[in-house]
Chain A
């Protein structure tokens, strides 16, 4: 880390602080101000985009924890998001629990569910682990949720959430703006929570397992326990994402949590940068904004080429797939690395090194 000359620390506390200089503090204050005051003034459309970004960040955090920090490749994270979402919805609709309580219970349930499917990680890794997480996806979403959970309380295929069901204390979450504030709160809570977790003993153990599991075992890290802990935390984060997402839906259905969403999340962290919290945020913003811009670009053309608007879903998927491939070929360390380099460049400017 670069510090301007003259900045020195006299206590470990100051040395470990997140924000060490006035410049950084001012920057962060501006960011918070922008998020809390600036964006809400921009109108409903940017807010709805921001909500999608927030959902993607919350969902991808767990994937980043598993893939980027613990080295456990997962292609089934949508299952845990689905467990969180459905558990929250059932808590509210069937048992009349308040939304925050229901969301917390949903998150814990998603964490436990994730541990259940993380158990094979004690025995297998690499490709085989990918297979078990894929199995988790299909067993959870396509079988248990579609055929059993969706029918709880005599419902058909989906849970409808009438407006006004989602309330936090006295506030009814019914507009984009309120969803946005809920999202900002959760994103800040989850990212700071995870950033702090990663610099504790637990986080260092995870990183040791990612870098070399056998060496980690030799150093006294209980590999199985920490892997399962990683699955639990990732599941809890997924559950929070699911619980948040139902606040902006009218209907919860298994279609929201398909296998492609799991792959999508892995793509998001690859584009952002594996093994970096910045990566989660950059990747989510990049992918969401790219696809929104694409939509804006396609709409004027759709009068001339009607196929473009009917097939837009496919254009979106195709562009996303191509983006993953191109990032892996040309920018394999993701946007976070590029950001890091840019910052270094300006720190050293006008010298090259």
Chain B
């Protein structure tokens, strides 16, 4: 029972980071209909940019803020240079543009920073573990959870209350109507990419603080796909719930199934789960129920 609780809670804490990245993915899909395979590389870029700022001696909050700004600019640039021209192209072409970008970004990161695992030195968060009853949690998990939570709230509030957020919602709902009401849909697309870059950057930084930063943090971008499929691709609450569910699922399968097999269950459990969801409920928890069937 103790182990179960411990696994579930750690799962929720890590899952909040997945939720943040999944949110970025969903924003892009919801606003511009692009299925993004480069999410993992966006997390990598953000994490390494933050690491670079941090090792130059900026305090962590400043480094994180700088990462957000760099992410914002990179997001606008990526959208303008590559994705804007792909509006209205077939699904394969758009997906493969993002796949090509993922190769490119990973190559940039690998070329500049190499393959060695790097850590944030000095440690950003205190290493002293916190005890709740008999449970032991690393402080880094709790701080990451709080940071992810704050950002999630900020993003959701942005969509609900700000003028730009509302215009993004309008464009996602009905592009033509939004255009006729004077919403600049181009700006909405650009903003969606900028937000995705920012969310992914913070997600990558937090994950890098937990496990150390190397090229495999980009795996997060693939892990986010089961989360958004569970949530229903275009639903913001779905992405958050999906991310946390995948975090819990991964921890539970790591805790219980790992002993039965030679290893690797933790990495594939989300995908098996995803295939099962797709066979029985392809529109996820709160997705648009317009699945074409043959």
Chain A residues engaging chain B, CB cutoff 8 angstroms? 67, 73, 120, 122-128, 130-132, 134-135, 138-139, 142-143, 146-148, 151, 213-214, 217, 223-224, 259-260, 263, 266-267, 270, 274, 307, 310-311, 313-325, 328-329, 332
Residue contacts A-B, CB under 8 angstroms, 26 given: A73-B95, A120-B275, A120-B278, A128-B282, A130-B95, A132-B278, A142-B267, A143-B267, A151-B262, A213-B294, A214-B294, A260-B103, A263-B103, A266-B96, A267-B100, A314-B110, A317-B104, A318-B111, A320-B103, A321-B103, A321-B104, A321-B106, A322-B100, A325-B97, A325-B100, A328-B93
Q: Are A307's CB and B89's CB within 8 A?
A: no
Which partner residue on chain B sits nearest A317 by CB separation?
B107
Please pick, from A125, A131, A138, A315, the residue contacting B268 in the complex, using a CB distance under 8 A: A138
Interface residues of chain A: helix, strand, loop or mixed (majority): helix
The 4 closest A-B pairs by CB, nearest first: A321-B103, A318-B107, A324-B100, A321-B104
Give Cα A270 to B103, complex, Å.
15
Which partner residue on chain A sits nearest B100 by CB separation?
A324
Give Cα A350 to B105, complex, Å.
46
A131 and B261 in contact, given A124-B291, A318-B111, A332-B93 (Cβ under 8 angstroms): no
B279 interface residue, CB < 8 Å from A?
yes
Q: Are B262's CB and A148's CB within 8 A?
A: yes
Q: Which residues in B have their C-beta under 8 angstroms from that of A73?
A: 91-92, 95
Please pick, from A138, A146, A223, the residue contacting B294 in the complex, using a CB distance under 8 A: A223
Q: Which residues in A have their C-beta under 8 angstroms from that of B103?
A: 260, 263, 267, 317-318, 320-322, 324
B101 interface residue, CB < 8 Å from A?
yes
Please pick, from A128, A143, A270, the residue contacting B96 in the complex, using a CB distance under 8 A: A270
A139 and B96 in contact, given A317-B103, A318-B111, A321-B103 (Cβ under 8 angstroms): no
Q: Are B275's CB and A146's CB within 8 A?
A: no
Q: Are A135's CB and B272's CB within 8 A?
A: yes
B143 interface residue, CB < 8 Å from A?
no
Q: Are A127's CB and B91's CB within 8 A?
A: yes
A317 and B106 in contact, given A143-B264, A143-B268 (Cβ under 8 angstroms): yes
A328 and B100 in contact, given A73-B92, A127-B91, A128-B278 (Cβ under 8 angstroms): yes
Please pick, from A143, A311, A324, the residue contacting B97 in the complex, using a CB distance under 8 A: A324
Which partner residue on chain B sits nearest A326 by CB separation?
B100
Please pick, from B106, B114, B272, B279, the residue contacting A123 in the complex, using a CB distance under 8 A: B279
Q: Which residues in B have their C-beta under 8 angstroms from that of A263?
A: 37, 99, 102-103
Interface centre among B37, B100, B233, B282 (most CB of A within 10 A): B100
Interface residues of chain B: helix, strand, loop or mixed (majority): helix
Please pick, from A146, A260, A321, the residue contacting B264 in the complex, using a CB distance under 8 A: A146
State the interface size on chain B (CB cutoff 8 A): 47
Please pick, from B102, B222, B265, B294, the residue contacting A321 in the complex, using a CB distance under 8 A: B102
B1 CB to nearest chain A CB (Å): 29
Q: Which residues in A have their C-beta under 8 angstroms from that of B99?
A: 263, 266-267, 321, 324
B271 interface residue, CB < 8 Å from A?
yes
Q: Which residues in B have their C-beta under 8 angstroms from that of A223?
A: 294
Q: Which residues in B have their C-beta under 8 angstroms from that of A260?
A: 103
Q: Are A125's CB and B275's CB within 8 A?
A: no
B182 interface residue, CB < 8 Å from A?
no
Which partner residue on chain B sits nearest A214 by CB separation?
B294
B225 interface residue, CB < 8 Å from A?
yes
B130 interface residue, CB < 8 Å from A?
no
A215 CB to nearest chain B CB (Å): 11
A136 CB to nearest chain B CB (Å): 9
8 more contacts with CB within 8 A, not counting A124-B278, A317-B110, are A130-B95, A134-B271, A135-B272, A138-B267, A138-B271, A260-B103, A274-B92, A310-B114
Which partner residue on chain A sits nearest B261 by CB separation?
A147
Q: Which residues in A have their C-beta under 8 angstroms from that of B91?
A: 73, 126-127
Interface centre among A267, A311, A318 (most CB of B within 10 A): A318
B174 interface residue, CB < 8 Å from A?
no
Give Cα A321 to B278, complex, Å.
29
Q: Are B100's CB and A123's CB within 8 A?
A: no
A123 and B293 in contact, given A128-B278, A131-B274, A325-B104 (Cβ under 8 angstroms): yes
B153 interface residue, CB < 8 Å from A?
no
Contact with A along B251-294 (1 / 0, CB 8 A): 00000000001111101100110110011001000000001111
Q: Which residues in A have their C-beta under 8 angstroms from that of B107?
A: 314-319, 321
Q: Which residues in B have their C-beta under 8 angstroms from that of A259?
A: 222
B158 interface residue, CB < 8 Å from A?
no
B229 interface residue, CB < 8 Å from A?
yes
Q: Are B275's CB and A132's CB within 8 A?
A: yes
Q: Which residues in B have their C-beta under 8 angstroms from that of A124?
A: 278-279, 282, 291
Q: Are B96's CB and A267's CB within 8 A?
A: yes
Contact with A along B88-131 (1 / 0, CB 8 A): 01011101110111111111101100100000000000000000
Give Cα A101 to B292, complex, Å.
42
B99 CB to nearest chain A CB (Å): 5
Q: Are B265's CB and A143's CB within 8 A?
A: yes
Interface centre among B262, B265, B271, B274 (most CB of A within 10 A): B271
Please pick, from B104, B262, B272, the residue contacting A322 in the complex, using a CB distance under 8 A: B104
Q: Which residues in B have their C-beta under 8 angstroms from that of A267?
A: 96, 99-100, 103
Q: Which residues in A have their C-beta under 8 angstroms from that of B104?
A: 317-318, 321-322, 325
Q: Are A324's CB and B278's CB within 8 A?
A: no
B225 CB to nearest chain A CB (Å): 6
Q: Are A314's CB and B96's CB within 8 A?
A: no
B134 interface residue, CB < 8 Å from A?
no
Give Cα A35 to B225, complex, Å.
44
Q: Which residues in A have their C-beta under 8 angstroms from that of B264?
A: 142-143, 146-147
Q: Which residues in B have their C-beta under 8 angstroms from that of A224?
A: 294
